[in-house]
Every structure is written in C-alpha cells, then in structure tokens.
Structure 1
Amino acid sequence: MSNFFVYPLLAILGFLFLLSLIFIVKQQTAVLIETFGKFTSVRHSGIQFKIPFIQRIAGRLSLKIQQLDVIVETKTLDDVFVKLKVSVQYVVIREKVYEAFYKLEYPHDQITSYVFDVVRAEVPKMKLDDVFVKKDDIAIAVKSELQDAMLEYGYDIIKTLVTDIDPDAQVKEAMNRINASEREKIAAQFEGDAARILIVEKAKAEAESKRLQGQGIADQRREIARGLEESVEVLNKVGINSQEASALIVVTQHYDTLQSIGEETNTNLILLPNSPQAGSDMLNNMVASFTASNMIGEQMKKAKPKKEE
C-alpha cells in the first residue's frame, strides 16, 4: 500500500522539478536570469533551461516598439494656455537589456518627465499660431533630448509626434469667430464682385439692345421712305402730282391702320379720329398745307433775285 502512494508522489515531484527546470521565452521578449540574486544572463525566444532553486527569472522585457502618450499643459508667448499631446515611440535596445531592467525602474515616468521639461521650455517661446506651424520642431526637440537621456538606460527613441494641440476653450471660440468673420468677408467680396459683373453685363446687353433697336427703326424708316418714293413716282406717271400722291398715301395708310385694328379681336387700341369724315378732313388739310407751302416757296424764289440786285 505504501508503494501505491510513493510512486505517484515521486511522479508529481519529478514533473514539478521539470517545470522549474524548463521555461519558454516568447518572440520579441527578453528574460533576465539571476543566480542567488545576482544577474547571470539574458535569455531570448525559445525553450530555455535554468537550475531549479538556484536560478530564477528576475523579469521579462518586451523588445517590441511601444508608445507612450504624454499630455502637457503649458502657456504660449501670447499668454494662451494650451494642452499638447506628445506621442513617444520607444524600444528596448536588444544589447542593453541589462541597463533597461536594472538601471531604470519606471521608464514611463522618466520619459514623461523629459517630455514635460522640453515642451515647457520650447512652447513659451512661441505664439499660439506658431505652435501649430512649428509642432514638428517641438517634436524634434523632444526626441533629441530624450534620445540623449534614455540611451544610457538602454532605450532607443524611435519617433516623437505632437499629435494634438488643444488651446483653452475660450481661445478656440474666439479663433472660430475670427475664422468665420474672415470667411464671411471673403464671401461678401465675391458676392459684390458677382453683383457688379451682373450689373455691367446687364448694362452692356441693354446698350446693345438699344443699338440694335435704333438700327432696326432706322432701317424701317428708310424702307418706308423708299416705298413712299416709289409710290409717288408711280402716281406721277398717271397724272397725279406729288402733293396729291402724298395725301392719297396718307389716307390709304390711315384706312389700312383701321383695317388692321379691326382684325384684332383682343386689341384695346383706339385710333382717334377714325370716322370717314375725319379721313376727308385730313386729306383736305394736307392738300391745303401743301398748297400753302408751295405758295410760300414761290414767293421766296421771286423775292430772292430782287435782293441780289
């Protein structure tokens, strides 16, 4: 019965011994081994062995690139409080795992302290607008300072980035108002230019329209005069003199006008006078006017030679 309990117990103890003898290190990881409390070696990925009860795993360090985000509040040259988010990408140097583990206990705190120191030394030299423009210069200054300080402790600074710049809420509101006012000013200028161009083009179009209209009226009157001239010549050939021909043409046009008005059903034009007697009176008045005009012309011709004598 005693052997029944002894063998399983020995098997369990052997298994635990084997577990304390063998350990596995993951990829991109470094394990530090101590012998009786003193650093002995650094083990990398794969199956590794240690002496049970004599050696122990002191710690593990990741060899991957890590990122630490640090938010710093400071004041600019123009007395504006601003928060900057600085992202620091760093990695443990493979050959300096010992320094990274034993020389620096809290690397995050160390990096944060240097970021605060550099940012609060650089930003107060700049105005708020310059902080946005020169954020890369701030990042370069942070990296340069960190690189020199952290290299001694086994850390390599890969890159530093100023990922966010957040001014005070009242300042942001004021900046937004300024930007909105500037955009409204530009929009008003464009609208004014567009309205001015529209007025100029409209004036040009009206001037061209008037010019074409005047040209059309002139052409119309020229053709009317030419038609009247031809009509008078035709009437002269049948024994009607110029005065009578002109009167006849006027009366004919008068009745043609009345006829065209009568053909329009929805017209509201009224021609006064429009009676037959009015046409006769118009003809008599025109003949009398032409006769009187001829008499005055004959008298002026007779009087002219006497004055010359």
Structure 2
Amino acid sequence: MMIIVILVIVLVLALTCFKIVPQNTVGLLETLGKYSTTRSTGLNFRLPIIQKIRVVSLALQPLKLAGYSVITKDNADIGATVTLNFHITDPVKYSYENTNSIESMQQLVRGHLRDIIGRMELNEALGSTSKINKDLADAIGDLTNTYGINVDRINIDELKPSASIQASMDTQLKADRERVAAISQAEGEAKSIELRAKANNDALVATATANAQATKTRADAEAYRIDKVQSALKNADQNYFNNQSINAFETLAHSDTNLIITNGAELDKTGQNATLAKMLGDELKKKD
C-alpha cells in the first residue's frame, strides 16, 4: 500500500515537472519567485515546487475604456468612450516592472485625451473625432513601451455632451431650423410676389401692345378708306355730286326737319334740279 502511495506521489510530481506553453504566448520561468528565463511555445520542463512558469499572451487584445468626463476649452462637459487594441511587446517589463501595466496604459490614454480635447471648443471637438484619434495616437507614441505594451489602434467611440449642454444644443438647433424655415418661407413669398408682379406687368404690356396694334390697324383702315374716297372723288363728275345731293335731300325729307340752310350761290343749282324738286314735293304731300 505504501508503495502505491509513493508511486502516485512520484507520478504527480513528474506531471508537474512539465508545462505546456500555448501558441502565440511565452512562458516566464520563475525560480523561487525570481524571473530566470523566457520559455518558448511547446512542452517545457520545470522543477516542481521550486519553479513555475507564468504564461503571457502576445496576441492582439481589444480593450474598452470606461466612459469618463473631459472638459473642453469653453468649459463644456463631454463624456468620452474609447476603445483600443494593444499587444504585449516585452513580457518581462509587462509582468515585473509595473504592478498593473494595462491600468497604467489606460491612465496614459485618458490623460492625453483630456489634454487634446481641453484645447478644443465644444463644436470643434464634436466634429473632429478623426483628428482627435490621430493626435491621441501620436501623443501616446512609444510611451507605452515602458509597460511592455504597444497600442496598435485607438478610436474615439463617442463624445457625448452632458444632459444640460445637450438640451441647450437641441434648443439652439431648433431655433436655427425655425430661422432657416422662416427665411425660406419669406424668400418663397418674395419670389411669389415677384412672379405675380412680373405676370401682371407682362399682361399689361401685352394688353397695351394689343390695343396699340388695334388702334394702328383701325387708323390704317380709316386712312385707306379716306384715300379711296378721295381717289374716287377726284374721278367723279357733276352727276355723281347731283345724285349725292338728291340722296341727302331725300333723307332730309323723311326727317322732321323742314328748314334747309344753304349757300345762295348754290341755290340756283338746287332749284334747277327737277328731280329733286319733284321728290321734295312728293314727300311733303305724304306728310300732309
């Protein structure tokens, strides 16, 4: 029985003599608590109880920093959320030269972010996340090498103003929108008035042009008629004028007027016209 117990103890000790270091990690061999050497991937031997192997990952690791407050140049309070990717470049520094290298790295990122945003005004900061990312990466640079860490990528996920500032911004945005809407409405009304005035003016011009054209047409027609009459009169003989006189006296005979005023020189010509005398006599008989 004792032999079995001894064999079990020996087997357990034998098993603890070996440590498997996984892919993309390194093993830090410690002898009595003191760093001795770095072991590579694979099966590694160690002395039980006296030695142990601490495994450190070299893979890229994501990290999200808890949201925290930063103050802008114009004293606006902004909540910042940051994510970054890092990997361990020096396992010995990472494990032994800093009690908490990751926390130190986070404090470094927060400090530089506060400094960068502290030199910006609120509106500039909210619209410059890409620039802040670049400035922050440049500021950190190789500083994290002190902790055995390299920051591969850093990103500002969110810059959110405080509730009071957000409310003020919403009020300002609403006022700006209402102002723009009022300006647009006023411009629309002014344009409408301008178009109506132009339409009315065009209508007046068109009407005046049409009236002028109509007047000109009538004047041309009247001038044409007068020219024709004058031309006809030039070629008319005495019989034409006698006939016109008869027509005139005939019309006069049908009217209530019985008084004729005429030139004495023309009176004999009128009396010599027998047809006219007869017509006047007949008309006077009808009236009686």
TM-score bucket (shorter structure) = 0.5 to 0.7
- The answer (yes or no) to whether the contact 1:50–1:56 under 8 Å persists in 2 is no
Deviates more, 1:162-171 or 1:106-115: 106-115
Say yes or no: does 1:186 pair with 2:180: yes
- From the CA coordinates, give the structure whose radius of gyration is larger: 2
- The answer (yes or no) to whether the contact 1:61–1:101 under 8 Å persists in 2 is no
Give the 5 Å matches for 1:88-103: 88-93=84-89, 96-103=90-97
Cα distance in 2, alignment partners of residues 97 and 206 from structure 1: 87
- The answer (yes or no) to whether the contact 1:70–1:112 under 8 Å persists in 2 is no
Give the 5 Å matches for 1:127-166: 127-132=121-126, 139=133, 142-143=136-137, 146-147=140-141, 149-166=143-160
Which structure 2 segments of 5+ residues have no match?
246-250, 264-288
Q: CA deviation at 1:201?
A: 2.7
Query: Which residue number corresponds to residue 73 of structure 1?
Result: 69
Aligned CA RMSD, in angstroms, stands at 4.2
Which structure 1 segments of 5+ residues have no match?
245-279, 285-290, 296-309
Query: Which residue number corresponds to residue 214 of structure 2?
Result: 220
Q: CA deviation at 1:81?
A: 2.1
Q: CA deviation at 1:144?
A: 5.5
Q: CA 1:143/1:214 → structure 2, altered by over 3 Å: closer, same or farther?
A: closer
- Within the candidate set 114, 121, 128, 2:108 is matched to 114
Q: CA deviation at 1:234?
A: 7.2
- The answer (yes or no) to whether the contact 1:80–1:128 under 8 Å persists in 2 is yes
Q: CA 1:209/1:72 → structure 2, altered by over 3 Å: closer, same or farther?
A: same
Give TM-score, length-normalised by structure 2: 0.63
Q: CA deviation at 1:171?
A: 0.8
Q: CA 1:165/1:217 → structure 2, altered by over 3 Å: closer, same or farther?
A: same
Deviates more, 1:146-155 or 1:211-220: 146-155
- Aligned structure 1 segments of 4 or more residues deviating by more than 6 angstroms: 9-13, 234-238
Q: CA 1:220/1:115 → structure 2, altered by over 3 Å: closer, same or farther?
A: same
Q: CA deviation at 1:100?
A: 0.8
Give TM-score, length-normalised by structure 1: 0.60
- The answer (yes or no) to whether the contact 2:80–2:160 under 8 Å persists in 1 is yes
Cα distance in 2, alignment partners of residues 138 and 68 from structure 1: 17
Identity of aligned residues (%): 18
